[in-house]
Amino acid sequence: MGNLLIGQSGGATAVINASLAGAVQEALRSDQIDGIYGALHGIEGVLKRQIIDLRQESDETWSRVLATPSAALGSCRYKLQPEDPARALEVLRALNVRYFLYIGGNDSADTAHRLALAAREADYDLRVIAIPKTIDNDLPITDHCPGYGSAARFIALATMDSALCTEAIPHHYPVKVIEVMGRDAGWLAAASALGKERPEDAPHLIYTPERPFSRERFLAAVREVQQAVGYVIIVATETIRDEQGQSLGAAFAQGTDAFAHPLVSGTAQHLVELVKTELGLRARFDKPGDLQRMSSVAVSGMDRDEAALVGRMAVRYALQGVSNKMVTLERQPGPDYACETGLADLEAIANAQKLLPDHFLDAAGTGVTRAFYDYALPLIGEALPKHVRLNRIRA
């Protein structure tokens, strides 16, 4: 018998709590687990011994947490300092924690990996399992990441709706830029095309970090679309860079986070100013911000189910003696979408990224291919609405 401790880390998502609920519900069913604890604000809560007893919550609470966005335990962005693993182990020993589950992305995998190594060095029997979470969808080895499907659905719907607003009065602001998250990967920007049915539908231009941004090609493409369609909807990842590797949002940089990732936010402003000054077209931008990460209005049922699944499986793997691993989602072959879980070494996940592959982008690099639709559509849940347009037959 041993106790289980679980924490949440990184940016909160619409379904990260589904992983928490799935893990706790699975632990409650096990006779091998005694105490079930939660660390407030991730690894920082462990280091400060801010621990709560999750067995004191009702069954109804966990069924409702399953459908609640954001991080119920509180999250953090904290990079372990050299002395921290030993301090964390002190807390875990005092609580007789034998199973440690950590829900998060690339940086959280690094935290879990370092804790697993410290436990091994100290000869402390601790099973450490990472549960994947990130809207960036950039964790290697796993087919996709819980959190991405819901964020992708949000971005697809936001693009469709925002485009209709521009289409209704195109001469007012004929160019619109929608800036999305994604760190160094363009998975979310690509998802903006999932509601596109006709060539003239938005988004007309997509810019991702995987392809260097060319000022001249951008301006030529905007002019071409504006003349052909009458308005232009552009979706850009916040971290796109020019051909010299300089971030377009560098002028609005806000420093770095604990893991030295740059905090940029000026990409949309830069593109809008470029269009206004070089093409003489009125332009504006939309920035969904945190809404794209954790809004409950566009949750993918598939995403929520898989988030709960990886939480449940993390407990099962830990009880089997597995440690220093992350739960993965493995897409199965066949015409119908299906995923099973697997395991990956944390060392291969920590601080690594999976970028949008070339074959998901078209030759120009500003649109997506059929292969991307086949990959992403199953992840966003039920079919997107099909907006209708009037025939506009003159009286």
126 and 9 co-located in one domain:
yes
Is 140 domain-assigned?
Answer: no
Which CATH number is 238's domain given?
Answer: 3.40.50.460
Q: Residue 201: its pLDDT value, please?
A: 96
How many domains, in total, are found in the chain?
A: 2
Together in a domain, 204 and 109: no
Residue 368 is given by DSSP the state B
Domain assignment present for 175: yes
CATH of the domain at 122: 3.40.50.450
**In a domain? residue 363:** yes
Q: Are residues 285 and 301 in the same domain?
A: no
- 247 and 101 both lie in a single domain: no
pLDDT (average), residues 104-120: 96
pLDDT-based confidence at residue 233 (cuts at 50, 70, 90)? very high
Identify whether residues 227 and 363 lie together within a single domain.
yes
148: left (phi over 0), alpha (psi -120 to 50) or beta: alpha
pLDDT greater than 70 at residue 188: yes
375-389 residue pLDDT tens: 999 999 999 999 999
Model confidence at 367: pLDDT above 60 = yes
- The residues assigned a catalytic role are 136
On whether both 333 and 375 belong to a single domain, the answer is no
Same domain as 239, residue 219 = yes
DSSP 361: B
Mean pLDDT of the chain, nearest integer: 95
- Both 265 and 311 in a single domain? no
123-160 confidence digits (pLDDT tens): 999 999 999 999 999 999 999 999 999 999 999 999 99
pTM comes to 0.94
Residue 388 is assigned to a structural domain of this protein: no
- Please indicate, yes or no, if residue 374 is contained in any of the structural domains: yes
Which pairs from 254-259 meet CB under 8 Å and 24+ separation? 257/77, 258/77, 258/78, 258/79, 258/107, 259/77, 259/79, 259/107, 259/110, 259/351
| Structural domain that includes position 32 | 2-134+297-348
Question: Quick check: 60 pLDDT over 60?
Answer: yes
pLDDT computed for residue 257 by the predictor: 55
Assess whether 190 and 323 both reside in one domain.
no
Residues 71 and 31 in one domain: yes
Whether residues 260 and 235 fall in one domain? yes
Is 124 within a domain? yes
Structural domain includes residue 289 = yes
Q: Residue 92 — φ and ψ, nearest 5°?
A: -65, -40
* Structure confidence by residue, pLDDT tens digits, 10-35: 999 999 999 999 999 999 999 999 99
Percent of the chain with pLDDT over 70: 96
Query: What is the DSSP-derived secondary structure letter of residue 367?
Result: S
Phi-psi region of 280 (alpha: psi -120 to 50; beta: other; left: phi over 0): left
Indicate if 48 and 156 belong to the same structural domain.
no
> How big, in percent rounded to 5, are the helix, strand and coil portions of the chain?
40, 20, 45
The tens digit of pLDDT for each residue in 276-321 reads 999 999 999 999 999 999 999 999 999 999 999 999 999 999 999 9
Rounded to 10 deg, the angle between the 267-279 and 215-229 helix axes is 70
Q: Does 70 fall in a domain?
A: yes
Q: Give the position of tokens 């693009």.
A: 159
